[in-house]
Every structure is written in structure tokens, then in C-alpha cells.
Amino acid sequence: MASIAASTTTSLLPRFSAAAMLSSSRTWTMFAQQVTQPGIWEGILRAVPKKKTTHSKKRSRLMAGKALQDVTSICKCPGCGQPKRKHVVCPHCMEQIKGMWRGANPSGKFL
């Protein structure tokens, strides 16, 4: 295992020669900062939540600003006069129709 690590580091190190690093001062400065400040990278590499987000917190975050809107498309049913939504069958009239169907055919079979 040590021989593999040694061969890997020896194959990578010749690519980064000191002359090439010193020639570009910006690259050398960034490299020096990384070497001298190792504590910076520890927080970045482990930037994960400590605990699972609860269902209620997740739902409240996702539903923020999406409250129920008022229904403004309400009219009177021409058949019974009950309030109903526009372009929707009146539920009161539908229950009356279902009651007539059940009374006419108590077995529930229409064939």
C-alpha cells in the first residue's frame, strides 16, 4: 500500500516544478494559502446538516407563500337555487339524481 502511494506522489510531483510555481505568483500564493491554512477546508468539506429536517419544517418551507386562495367563481344553481361553482355540476342536484337512480333500480345494476 505504501509503495502505491509513493509511486503516485512521485508521478504527480514532477509535474509541479518549483520554477513553474514561482513563475506565476498568483498560483503560488493560492498554493501557499492552502498549505498554511488547513482549518479552512475542514468546514467546507463537512458542510452537511447535523440532523434530518423534520417533515413539518420541510412542508412549511415548501408551502411558504402558497396560502389557499378565495373562490370567486360562485353562482346560484338554476335548478335548485343552491350556491355552486361555475361550470361545475351542482352537488345538491347530483345527490337528488343519484337518489332517483337508486329508487328506480335498487339492485344497482343498469343492464
- The answer to whether residue 5 is domain-embedded is yes
Residue 11 lies in a domain: yes
> For 57-85, what is the mean pLDDT?
91
**Structural domain includes residue 51:** no
pLDDT band (50, 70, 90) for residue 104: confident
Residue 3 covered by a domain:
yes
For 26, the domain range is 1-44
| 100 in a structural domain | yes
Weakest-pLDDT range from 9-13, 29-33, 101-105: 9-13
Residue 69: band (very low, low, confident or very high) from pLDDT cuts 50, 70, 90:
confident
SS3 category, 85? strand
Distances in whole angstroms, Cα of residue 46 to Cα of each of 17, 35, 38, 75 = 31, 19, 13, 58
Do residues 1 and 39 share a domain?
yes
Residue 62 domain-assigned? no
The verdict on residue 69 lying in a domain is no
Q: Residue 109 falls within a domain, yes or no? A: no
Q: What is the 3-state secondary structure (H, E, C) of 4-58?
A: HHHHHHHHHHHHCCHHHHHHCHHHHHHHHHHHHCCHHHHHHHCCCCCCCCCHHHH
Q: Report the number of distinct structural domains present in the chain.
A: 2
